[in-house]
Every structure is written in structure tokens, then in C-alpha cells.
Structure 1
Amino acid sequence: MKVSLVVPVFNEEATIPIFYKTVREFEELKPYEVEIVFINDGSKDATESIINKIAASDPLVIPLSFTRNFGKEPALFAGLDHATGDAVIPIDVDLQDPIEVIPHLIEKWQAGADMVLAKRSDRSTDGRMKRKTAEWFYKLHNKISNPKIEENVGDFRLMSREVVENIKLMPERNLFMKGVLSWVGGKTDVVKYARAERVAGDSKFNGWKLWNLALEGITSFSTFPLRIWTYIGLAVAGVAFLYGA
């Protein structure tokens, strides 16, 4: 049985060797054929050369590289396009999503789930501001958008091959991945876990990127913003008509 890990990376030269070594040495994954798809999202450091070097000695490592930084969502879609596993798991390279959770995801999938969500039991590793903004985002998104997304669930999850193939049929690739994964459907189960600290380096997500991601999430799966601007446009047109009459 083959399991694919889809791993977007941006300036992660310090974390990639640690991630790779951790995956390959984890005993509970050794019964499976574990493919690792690294997507270099236009890194400026040694990320590309490191993943190419690893791939040269490991046929189960697939190195992909973008010519510039396109963002995590396009990187995830590219990874899904190239992953060949029976099950596919997007995961961050910094090991904040612990490798130890993966066997539990596989177990739920083998029991019949098409999608197994890895749900954070708490957000204690986040700062207070990030916790509050995440809380506000989930409330706003689930109030005005459809489908709803599970709170405290990121991209870390297991998808069956059928789910991945359905996602690949979508022509639009600049979409909010969490929304896509909620929209695609299938039998869903949940594994709760505690998120760890980064093993090395710093997060590449700044406030601006998080804001754009949140905006993409709301506008991709809701007509509410469009309706608001339609009403504003009609109001402006009405005022212009009255003044011009």
C-alpha cells in the first residue's frame, strides 16, 4: 500500500533534512510504501538543491519546483497532481503536524473513511492574536460561506485516491484548499492531536499572507461579498440617476 505525503516548502533548508529523516526512521510507517512529494514554492535558499539531492538517492521522493513563489494553495494542488499513493496526506515540513499522527489517519481510512481530518485539540502553540483571528475567521466563514469548514482543522488530513481524483477534475487551481476539501464530500472521520513546536526555522506565513488566505477562503465559497458590492453598485447608480434627472 502506497501513502503519499504532499509537502509544500518555502525557504525551508533547515527543516527538510529533519523531516525526511523523521519520516524514514519512523517504525510505524515502515509497513507502507511512503512517497514524499516536495513542492518548492520559489525558495531563495538551498531548498531546491536539498530536495533534488534527496530525490537522487530515494526513488520515492518526487521534487517539484516553481519558478517563483505562487503560495501554498497552488503548491498543494501541484502536489496532488503528482502524488500516486492510494492515500494522500498534505503535511507541513516543520513537523508541527507530528508524524506520529499519520498511522491513526491511516487506521481510520482503512476502516472506511474517504477523508480523515487531523483536528487540533487546542491552539496553545499559537499566540493570542493568532488564536483570536482564527476563531473570528471560522465564525465568519461558516456564517456566510458554504460548505462549512471544520474548526481547528488545517490542510493536514488523509484523502483517499477517489477524493484526490475528484479534486484534480477541478479546472480552477487558485482556490482555498480547506474549502475545496470540505466541498468534495465523502465519508469523513476525525483524529484529534496536539500540535508541536517547529523543529527549526521560522514560519513563512506573515500577517499579510494569512489575511489574503482568509479573504480567498471567504470569497471562493460565498456569494455574500458579491451581493454586497451589487447592492452598493445599485445604490450608486440610483443616486447618479437622481442627480442626473
Structure 2
Amino acid sequence: MIILPAIDLIDGQAVRLTQGDYGSQKNYGDPLALALSYVENGATHLHVVDLDAAKSGETKATTRTILQSIIKETGLRIEIGGGIRDQSSIEQWLSLGVWRCILGTAAIRNPQFARDMVEQFGEQVIVGIDAKSGQVASDGWTQVADLSAVDFAKQLHEFGYKSCIYTDIAKDGMLAGANFESSVALAKTSGLTVIVSGGVKDIEDVKQALQYQEEGIAGIIAGKSLVEGTLDLGKAIEFVKQTTAKE
């Protein structure tokens, strides 16, 4: 099971939002410094969301520069999401050295695109399923589609995807614990393994994720809990290593 620290970007700064609300933005400074601190604590992966592009569909040059520097300086396996809506965007990110690209809005609006991309790129693409009351949200979480998260996940499995990132928007940024119940149900119903996002608070969430490994939980994404100090990344990663070694 992997723990992915998260960095969300707006105007070149690391930020956190609450429940995807751009009006709730809180800044945490230099993204590279944050990424380096995660490496020092044992991180091997990094989850990055380009919030500018999630809303506009356009990636700023400054964002590419930041990602290049993080890749070069940290050696982390980086997944990037936000505004990736065509094949050329995927190719550009992968050519920069990104580990994998997260599809969202484009996969919801155009199922054929989702199918084509997994056929073309395999596990270098993953879909982020962001849910409001069980329904799929898009466009930086500003729109809700007439499609359930479970039906969308089943469709993705049929297309050839093996995993997804599942975010319960109601939990995001609330530091109230992740929604493992819905995540496990999604994994069981769809056949996908699930990386859980939204609401991860402390070591108890890490323990829960480990308990659900055999039920399809492949990892957790932690954002606000790390910058606010409710989750110690180093201790969490060490706990996972020790627990996994015993099994």
C-alpha cells in the first residue's frame, strides 16, 4: 500500500482547498520545498493537482517548470491531474518524466477518450473519480454529472483500467477521516483497486487503509493532514513498512 503526499497548485504556489471550494484557498508556499520535505520523510510518490488547469483546461508554463524542478530534484514518482483533456497533454507530461497522468473531466464527458487512452498508455493513465453524494463531479468539482461513481468505475474496468483514485468531495479538506466504506464498496463492485482521497486525518486512516488492502484499497492520498500536522508522514510510512513486513 502506498501513501501519496498531495500538492495542489494555484499560481505556482502549494495550496489546499476545502471541499474543492476555490474561495477556501490556503497557501503553503513553495511546492518544491514541500516536495523535498516529503522525500526527507520517506515518500516515494507524489500526487499533484493543477487546480488552475482543472478549472480552465489550460496548463500554465510556470506549472510545467515547477513539475520539472520537482522531478529533477526529488526523484519521486509523480502523478499529475487537472485539465488533462487530450492525448497531447498526456504525452507532454510523460515526456517531462511524470509517472502517470490522472484523467477526470475528459473521461466523464468522452468515454471513448478514456478507453483510447488506456489502450494507448496502459498504467501510465489513471482516472480520478470525484463524487458528490455518490454522483460523479467534473470541471474542478463545479459540475455534477448524471452518472454514479459506481457505474463510472464499472465502465472504466471494462475499458481496461486496473485502478482509480476515489475522492469523496464532502470529506475533502475536512480532516474528519476518509470514506473507506464507499471506497471499499466501489472496489468490490467495479473490480478496480482504489486509492482513497479526501479527509485523511491521522494514523488511524493509515491503519484502516491497511485493514482494507485485501478488499481493494491500494493506497491513500494525504494533503491537508500533512501540512496541518495531524499526520506524521515519516511515522505513517514506517508503520506501513513494518505492518506489511509482518504479513
Q: TM-score, normalised by structure 1?
A: 0.29
- The structure with the largest strand share of the pair is 2
Q: Normalised by the size of structure 2, how large is the TM-score?
A: 0.28
Q: Which has the larger radius of gyration?
A: 1
